[in-house]
Amino acid sequence: MAIYDSVFDSLGLREWCDGGGSGEGPMSMAELLARSRGESGGGTGGASLWDLPFPSLDALHDACGVIPESRDLTLGLERGFLSMRDALRVVIDPVTQPLSWMLRESLAVMTNTPWWIMIPLLLAVTWLVSKSWRVVVFVAISLALLAFVDHYNAAMQTLAIIFVCAFICVLFGVPIGIAMSRSDRLQRIVIPILDMLQTLPPFVYLIPLIFLFSVTEPKLYGIAIILYAIVPVIRLTDLGIRLVDKDVIEAADAFGMTNRQKLFGVQIPLALPNIMAGVNQTIMMSLAMVVIASLVSAPGLGVLVLRGIRSLELGVGLVAGFGIVLLAIMLDRVTKASLARIDASQARR
């Protein structure tokens, strides 16, 4: 650090670095070792340019005590967040409380309903969405396998969380995507936010939420899942509407259609394949985040995977992981069958 000492000395900042004192404050261990070897504190101390450290906060702090260390920066961020926590909770708690209610009720319904009612109900929904007996049979076999290995309740918990979070993602994501497609300025504002949400590691979503909410509150993991999974449906809704043929829009204008009529009668139907692709990706990302959210009390198959990792129970982890794979394939097949129906109906027009 002697090289940076000489920089501050040459700039006449030594007194400022020493806090305005005489500069005879306690010496650092490096200075004591240098003096014991007979080296002067003001020179380069035999350090070569090859060994020159990057002028980071820690390196500059060693030469000038007034400059904060990197840990001071992280502590400052933590204290600033904690000082705002109570004010944030006053605003965020009422807004997000319905999410907790929805998650609790969904979990209660799907786990307390007898299997001989829930499984036929899920198969009926699958048929209504996909109109494919192959998909219905596949879903039935998958649910039977999960129940056969006593993972039925965990699978229902995972599905309950995915249904609620994916529904909210679509409920908010599609209107945001539509608004972006109608305003280039809004798109320029929202795209960097979506880029940040898409590139943040999944674990990072949990860090501020742990300080804001209690671990026992379902909205803790619900918000993390929604923030992580909402990006694809927003992006693909915006893209789908922007890709609608301009000639079709001009024809709609020629017929005197209003903006609302064009949106619901022309743009959204033509953009539906892209929107459904976004829904598919949102469901897949919700499932991935549900597993990670088990670290903060999210129930379901992710808890069994976490148990297998923590307790080194290989069999438990592998079976639960296989159950997650089955759920992922089930949801993917159902949404893709729905997308195929939409494509086929549009091709017949």
pLDDT at 61: 85
pLDDT at 40: 47
Q: Are 244 and 271 in contact (CB under 8 A)?
A: yes
The verdict on residue 75 lying in a domain is no
Average pLDDT of every residue of the chain: 87
pTM of the model: 0.84
Q: Between the ranges 41-55, 77-91, 94-108, where is the mean pLDDT highest?
A: 94-108
Q: Which residue has the tokens 């260390």?
A: 69
Q: What tens digit of pLDDT does each residue of 187-231 get? A: 999 999 999 998 998 888 888 888 888 888 899 999 999 999 999
- Residue 275 pLDDT level (bands cut at 50, 70, 90): very high
The 8-class DSSP code of residue 51 comes to: G
Would you say residue 325 has pLDDT above 60? yes
Higher model confidence: residue 222 or residue 16? 222
With H, G, I as helix, E, B as strand and everything else as coil, classify residue 190: helix
How many domains does the chain fold into? 2
Q: Are 69 and 58 in contact (CB under 8 A)?
A: yes
- The reply to whether 123 and 252 lie within a common domain is yes
Mean pLDDT score, 104-108: 96
- The reply to whether 14 and 125 lie within a common domain is no
Region of poorest pLDDT, from 83-97, 102-116, 161-175, 321-335 = 83-97
Q: Which residue has the tokens 């979503």?
A: 205
pLDDT at 43: 46
Q: Which of 46, 68, 90 is the last residue of a domain?
A: 68
Higher model confidence: residue 297 or residue 228? 228
Q: Which of 68, 99, 120 is the last residue of a domain?
A: 68
Q: What tens digit of pLDDT does each residue of 42-84 get? A: 444 455 677 778 888 888 888 888 888 889 989 998 899 889 8
DSSP notation for 59-115: HHHHH-TTSPPHHHHHHHHHHHHHHHHHHHHHHHHHHHHHHHHHHHHHHHHHHHS-H
Region of poorest pLDDT, from 95-104, 139-148, 269-278, 335-344 = 335-344
CATH number of the domain where residue 192 is located: 1.10.3720.10
pLDDT at 82: 87
Residues of the domain holding 205 = 80-347
